[in-house]
């Protein structure tokens, strides 16, 4: 996933990133970006805690992440705390995952799913329900120490409703029971689901995206 934009706020933020890298500026605050190693982890933690507060207040709350790997202890602990408060948490992860979902009293509202196919799953997206006004970020960062602490990585917030809807549709389809996937259980074992109860093959997410691109339409 990528974004082409003429939004001035994004342009200024990107210029500030390169100025900071080149030494022309020490600015590390941005309007539309979260940038590691300064603000991705703290930005995500802040938003997870906001979902907890929203849930306590009876407002719509949810956390959904798509990444290649998740091993960062502080992020995982925050997701566990959110789950213990009853916030639904969905993690769509391609490979390494240190979360144990579905553990009573710790992670009962967390689901972890991996989708592997013909092409390499490589996009990252972070979605927060935000009291009914979904907040979505896309970018380069996985939830690993090397990404959050030892590299310059960026996430950009999506502001166009269509862009937000596209990412949300991806999450909806990825976690649909009719989509082929690997599911992680509370013991850390992956279970492959390829067929429904009638022996019919489940839908391939990547093939659906290919078909949608040929039609020039949405995935759902």
pLDDT per position as a tens digit, 14-46: 999 999 999 887 777 899 999 999 999 999 999
Evaluate whether residue 138 is within a structural domain: yes
User: Rounded CA gap, 160 and 207, in Å?
Assistant: 26
Evaluate whether residue 70 is within a structural domain: yes
Q: Which domain holds residue 173?
A: 34-215
Evaluate whether residue 93 is within a structural domain: yes
CB 194 within 8 A of CB 180: yes
3-state secondary structure (DSSP) of residue 4: coil
pLDDT per position as a tens digit, 165-218: 999 999 999 999 999 999 999 999 999 999 999 999 999 999 999 988 877 655
Evaluate whether residue 88 is within a structural domain: yes
* pTM over 0.85, yes/no: yes
Counted domains in the chain = 1
Per-residue pLDDT at 218: 59
pLDDT per position as a tens digit, 134-164: 999 999 999 999 999 999 999 999 999 999 9
Evaluate whether residue 208 is within a structural domain: yes
Q: What is the CATH number of the domain that holds 57?
A: 3.30.870.10
pLDDT per position as a tens digit, 86-126: 999 999 999 999 999 999 999 999 999 999 988 888 899 99
Evaluate whether residue 2 is within a structural domain: no
Please compute, for residue 12, the number of CA atoms within 13 A of its CA located in the half-sphere on the CB side. Answer: 9
């Amino acid at each position: 996933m990528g974004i082409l934009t003429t939004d001035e706020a994004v342009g200024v933020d990107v210029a500030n990133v390169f100025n900071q890298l080149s030494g022309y500026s020490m600015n590390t605050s941005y309007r539309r970006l979260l940038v590691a190693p300064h603000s991705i982890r703290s930005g995500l933690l802040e938003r997870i805690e906001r979902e907890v507060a929203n849930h306590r207040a009876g407002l719509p709350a949810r956390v959904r992440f798509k990444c290649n790997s998740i091993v960062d202890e502080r992020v995982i602990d925050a997701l566990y705390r959110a789950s213990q408060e009853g916030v639904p948490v969905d993690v769509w992860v391609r490979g390494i995952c240190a979360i144990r979902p579905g553990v009573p009293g710790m992670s009962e509202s967390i689901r972890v799913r991996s989708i592997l196919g013909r092409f390499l799953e490589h996009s990252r997206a972070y979605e927060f329900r935000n009291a009914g006004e979904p907040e979505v970020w896309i970018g380069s960062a996985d939830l690993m120490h090397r990404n959050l602490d030892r590299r310059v990585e960026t996430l950009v917030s999506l502001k166009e409703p269509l862009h937000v809807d596209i990412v949300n549709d991806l999450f909806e389809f990825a976690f649909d029971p009719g989509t082929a996937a690997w599911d992680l259980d509370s013991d850390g074992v992956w279970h492959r689901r390829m067929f429904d109860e009638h022996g019919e093959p489940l839908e391939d997410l990547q093939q659906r995206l290919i078909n949608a691109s040929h039609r020039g339409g949405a995935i759902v």
